[in-house]
Structure 1
Amino acid sequence: MSSHTSSGKGDRDASANQVIIGIDFGTTFSGVAYTYSNKIDRMEIITSWDSDLHSNSDEEKAPTAISYGPQNELVWGYAIPSEKEQLKWFKLLLLDSEDLPDDIRDSNKLKEARLYLEKHNKTAEEAISVFLRHLWNHSIQRITETIGRNMMNYSSFHVVMTLPAIWPSYAQNRMREAARAAGILGKRIAGETQLTFVSEPEAAALATLEEMEDRFDVKAGDTFVVADCGGGTSDLISYQCTSTNPLIIKECVKGTGGLCGAVFVDEAFSELLKSKFPKKKWEAMEAISRYRLLHDEWETGIKQQFDMNRASRGWSINMPWECMTAKERRGSAASTPKLEITGKEVKGVFDPIIEKITNLIDGQIIAVKKKTGANPKVYVVMVGGFGRCRYLFQMVKDNFGDDIEILQSRGAAPWTAICRGAVIHAATMQGLGKLSVQIRTRIARASYGVCLRPVWDASKHLWSDKEWDDISQLHRAKNQMFWLLREGDDTSAKEPIIETVVHHYDTSETTVTKLCSVKWETAIVVPSLPLYTNPLGKIYHKLNYEYHMTCAGESVDFAIYHNGKRQGSKNVSIDYSTD
């Protein structure tokens, strides 16, 4: 990618002047990774967050939280003071209520989120877009400080956003609109920003499987089940190794997932804590005290410390000041009332969610063995924020024994895997940099097709679909679905699926046309199209164009090609509605 343009300014070719930005918009925490000028091996993570507490500023991810003030002013992430009411969990509100399980739909956290939005007269889409705007602006500021204003202004942007694999297809369109409202797709000197999507588990897999390349015990035929255990969802994806040098993999079976992330463990602990208090004392507790109990005692204490070795011990938590009687307040520090929480109770908080995760892993392993018809060596790779949990690792390992390797990295790597993988995904799509892992085939998540009107064939079509076409003077079959791809099929990660389409124009037709669920709005100069004559001697124009469909994980890219030229995204828009 080092060829020079003819400008004489020494500029590298346009694809090298590019900033790739991966956005992991999570239920509880969000992260951003980036690279520029094709330096995939020099990827960086956004930090230096505005923070109410200095110790949080260099964390690799920021809380997915916002807080509105009385004049509609807004603070977000770490900058929200701990005592201030804030909106969390709002990512899940992007889904229609009927697409959430009953226990999630009715959870206290989602009820609190809905009430907060109602109180401030905001919609979930508005909250998501305003959070993304602040996350984006902060990231752009930090990237500019690193690579310089000139590089930023004259480099194209390729943004990759991640989505849970289990989300319905309409969520992608809603996220695209939220990104647009957040200014991510705003006009730039360097041209239009490209926005694509990838599933969270695939992004996590790309970021973690490269570490497997140099392992002597990894052989062709081995399989990897990547379990991305995050805040809201746990998503799984499975790959089979087809080559070790370089590491080439193919998606083995359709991925699975569920709403069984860390937030549900947090909510279960909150309910346990609430049960320890008399009702009046819990209701009397100030918001800051409740926050400190959940953050200091649970989030940074019990939750991180708990494992199988500590399941037999207990924890003592001091009763908040406002929940004590006057006599208790006058007592010594040693006599301060305490709440006792047993290891058995903490185990009961974790286990229901961990059981759901182990069931998902078990289902993937069974499906892999059924698909391959063999008993391959299986590695289960734990990633995501909750994927770092020691107790989760121990329980998964205990559940599957020594026959399956359970791998869990330490530090920030599992936590940042998704945003890093999003960047690698974009580079893979463009063939940039030296990539350690190549995904050759994927499994289709749904069936995709286009509605055509082919020449009627008695051996293929129903008589009821037969209709006469005055222009071509032929019988055609109406409303025929041509399936480009069916659910469960193997798809190439690089080669587009192409279907050629012919549209006939009467010489009196208008010059703007709407094609199926893909809308192409552009000026067609009908008189300039090729002329044909039907059997009655009537002259008509013929427009030839192609549908190109490229599958990249959860993202399906549709494009229309006319005269060998791809029509830009300003001209092509996709309707992902499921009506």
Structure 2
Amino acid sequence: MERNRGCPLFLLAMPPTRPPYTGSSRKLVLAFDVGTTFSGISYSILDPGQVPEIKGVTRFPAQEKVGGDSKIPTIIYYDQDGKVRAVGAEATQESIKETIEDEGWTKAEWFKLHMRPKAIAGSSSLYKLPPLPRNKSVVDLFADFMRYLYGCAKTYIQETHANGPQLWLSVEPTIEFVLTHPNGWEGAQQQQMRKAAILAGLIPDNVAGHARVHLVTEGEASLHFCIQSGLTTDALKSGGGVLIVDAGGGTIDLSAYGQTSASNDSSFEEIASPECHLQGSAFVTSRAQQFLEDLLRDSKFFGDVETMKEHFDKSSKLTFEKIENPLFIKFGGVRDRDPKLNIRGGQLKLSGTDVATFFQPSVACIIEAVKKQCAAAQKPISVVDSNTVQSVFLVGGFSASEWLFSQLKISLEQLGKTICRPDSHVNKAVADGAASFYLDHSVAIRVSKLVYGTGCCTLFDPKDSEHRSRLSSVRTWADGYKRVSGAFSVILRKNVQVSETQEFRASFSRPVKDRLDLDEVFTSIECYRGTDVLPRWKDIDTDMYSTLCFISADTSNLSKTLSPRFARENGTLHTYFKIDFDIILLFGLTELKAQIGWIEDGVEKRSPARIVYDSDIARADT
């Protein structure tokens, strides 16, 4: 079967050359891709003067394949005391099934999706999301699984490299960790992943430890994989953009990129706001399970639905290719038979038409998302003259589905797009790409996904009808001026290209009667998800606003230098204090960075701002 028909030249292109490592001492980079259904590890050992290579961990405990594999199931079993008993391939062994039943172990799978933001597209489709084990948070599960991955990486490197134990000892204290997450994950989810890394013992809970954890979206990691595999070279020669579709177990991540200039073929920019949809292969399995339950509900085979689901998930799902051909799901012995239900010899026969319905929502979601990305990329937001997307690269474990690929190929070719997928290792694209993200750092410009800003009060203007309509929100502040609350100050608009060093700021003032109230600046950064390009008031489209994070900065040294000011209130003169400051945000990195700036003696001073996602702090602030 010719899987990449229509785009063979992409697989012949040479990947870009990586320069030698310029550090002074040996370093290890570990990239963990914790997927919804499968996970993988890639790594690179950096030796001074040597060109770094990316390798994968291809041997895990209890793997069925003798030659190894680059992925393991994202499954954990806990006993009744909450202790980890089996992880990864160990959790799928036939030999432990009896123990699982006898000792009442609890299975944790698909737990990654419990970390999702509420606003992510497709959340309503999570009708079969397994619950978390009792007394376990999603951070606990991530920590336990990353601890296991860390142990697997340690064993593999020690066993496969010359002087492996000594090598590991030399790099262990300074390992750089790269963690991947779906495009739709935001700051709160990134912080949860950091907490899990600390809980897993990967890093100490201090500034130096935190600096060794790097987070990257699965879409951007997949782009790096395609670049290093030479897949993007020919697609970008004509000046067009490329669209990466990372089809995984839980999410479908879409990211569009172009080159920043013709003279620099190693620097890329986002040319459309990335998307994330909960329509991965796990939901194909969920729809299949629902179909089987409805079909067999009143039969003696209803108790076999779980076995059927597992067989469909592991074998039948990816091999389904033609709607004309039936699909067989094996679950029992030769005596299991019911012709009315199309069960013979322990096999259930499903029509190809029925099986296609399991895939249809995911296929339709991807096609519509591709159209949206291509339309957005045609807008004049790029510094490149022409970044119209012509090439689509399908990666991720779900891309191995023959039916998915064939349906996307038919639809996208009708739109004039070429779709390709790597010939092998489709499931390790994210892990390899995450390591490449650390080494090569190919993306220099990213696109803002939402409108970002902060709630504020604004000076009351009696001539402004918007202000007059909000008289109930007008208050007199310590400086004697009236202000109307509920305003929204936009710091960054949606669909704006942002470089990594570009700063976005908004100016504020804070008058108070007690100087101690100015020892800290604490404010929220909020997202607006509606259609207004420049929203002004939070009482309009109220449901479209959500808190991204809170930023806190120590301004006690500044407050001590403030001189009292004077204002009248009801005819009485009183003192007050005021600071004028800027909130400075950097959105161009894979993680948000913040600072507070102010003018002191004619010189701008700055204070690092701590970014907080804890909802308890939010309640205290209100």
TM-score bracket relative to the smaller structure: 0.7 to 0.9
- Aligned counterpart for 2:405 among listed residues 368, 393, 406: 393
Give distance in 2, aligned partners of 1:364 and 1:448: 21
CA pair 180-216 structure 1, distance change in 2 beyond 3 A: closer
**Structure 1 position 211, deviation (Å):** 4.1
**Structure 1 position 26, deviation (Å):** 1.4
Question: Is residue 2:54 matched to residue 1:33?
Answer: no
Whether the 8 Å CA contact 2:20–2:51 is kept in 1: the answer is no
Give distance in 2, aligned partners of 1:79 and 1:408: 30
Question: Is residue 2:244 matched to residue 1:206?
Answer: no
- Aligned counterpart for 2:500 among listed residues 487, 490, 493: 493
Give distance in 2, aligned partners of 1:67 and 1:258: 28
Amino acid at match of 2:177: V
Give distance in 1, aligned partners of 2:20 and 2:362: 50
SS of 1:358's equivalent in the other structure is helix
Whether the 8 Å CA contact 1:17–1:154 is kept in 2: the answer is no
**CA deviation vs aligned residue, 1:496-520 (integer Å, no higher than 9, x gap):** 4356778889996389524223454
SS of 1:411's equivalent in the other structure is coil
Partner of 1:22: 31
Partner of 1:331: none
Whether the 8 Å CA contact 2:513–2:576 is kept in 1: the answer is yes
Partner of 2:246: 228
SS of 2:453's equivalent in the other structure is strand
Amino acid at match of 1:35: S
**Structure 1 position 485, deviation (Å):** 1.2
Amino acid at match of 2:125: I
Question: Is residue 2:143 matched to residue 1:129?
Answer: yes
CA pair 299-213 structure 1, distance change in 2 beyond 3 A: closer
- Aligned counterpart for 1:183 among listed residues 193, 201, 205: 201
Give distance in 1, aligned partners of 2:279 and 2:232: 33
Partner of 2:531: none
- Aligned counterpart for 1:556 among listed residues 544, 568, 592: 592
Give distance in 2, aligned partners of 1:274 and 1:394: 28
Partner of 1:60: 70
Q: Which moved more, 1:495-504 or 1:120-129?
A: 495-504
**TM-score for both structures, normalised by structure 1:** 0.74
**Structure 1 position 64, deviation (Å):** 1.3
**TM-score for both structures, normalised by structure 2:** 0.70
CA pair 502-420 structure 1, distance change in 2 beyond 3 A: farther
- Aligned counterpart for 1:405 among listed residues 418, 421, 424: 418
Partner of 2:368: 359
Give distance in 1, aligned partners of 2:513 and 2:331: 82
Give distance in 2, aligned partners of 1:306 and 1:3: 45
**Structure 1 position 380, deviation (Å):** 0.6
Give distance in 1, aligned partners of 2:117 and 2:180: 19
Question: Is residue 2:106 matched to residue 1:106?
Answer: no
SS of 2:587's equivalent in the other structure is strand
Whether the 8 Å CA contact 1:530–1:542 is kept in 2: the answer is no
Partner of 1:243: 261
**Structure 1 position 234, deviation (Å):** 0.8
- Aligned counterpart for 1:262 among listed residues 273, 281, 285: 281
Give distance in 2, aligned partners of 1:551 and 1:193: 18
CA pair 203-96 structure 1, distance change in 2 beyond 3 A: closer
Give distance in 1, aligned partners of 2:258 and 2:520: 44
Give distance in 1, aligned partners of 2:335 and 2:400: 34
Whether the 8 Å CA contact 1:202–1:553 is kept in 2: the answer is no
**CA deviation vs aligned residue, 1:244-287 (integer Å, no higher than 9, x gap):** 443233222222232111112222333455566574433444x9
SS of 1:254's equivalent in the other structure is coil
- Aligned counterpart for 1:346 among listed residues 336, 344, 355: 355
SS of 1:42's equivalent in the other structure is coil
Amino acid at match of 2:433: G
**Structure 1 position 231, deviation (Å):** 0.5
Amino acid at match of 1:126: D
Listed as ranges, the gaps of 5+ residues in structure 1 are: 5-11, 329-334, 428-434
CA pair 124-509 structure 1, distance change in 2 beyond 3 A: closer
CA pair 444-191 structure 1, distance change in 2 beyond 3 A: closer
Listed as ranges, the gaps of 5+ residues in structure 2 are: 1-18, 101-105, 525-549, 568-573
Partner of 1:432: none
Q: Which moved more, 1:219-228 or 1:28-37?
A: 28-37
Whether the 8 Å CA contact 1:558–1:574 is kept in 2: the answer is no
Question: Is residue 2:179 matched to residue 1:161?
Answer: yes
Partner of 1:9: none
Whether the 8 Å CA contact 1:531–1:540 is kept in 2: the answer is no
Partner of 2:534: none
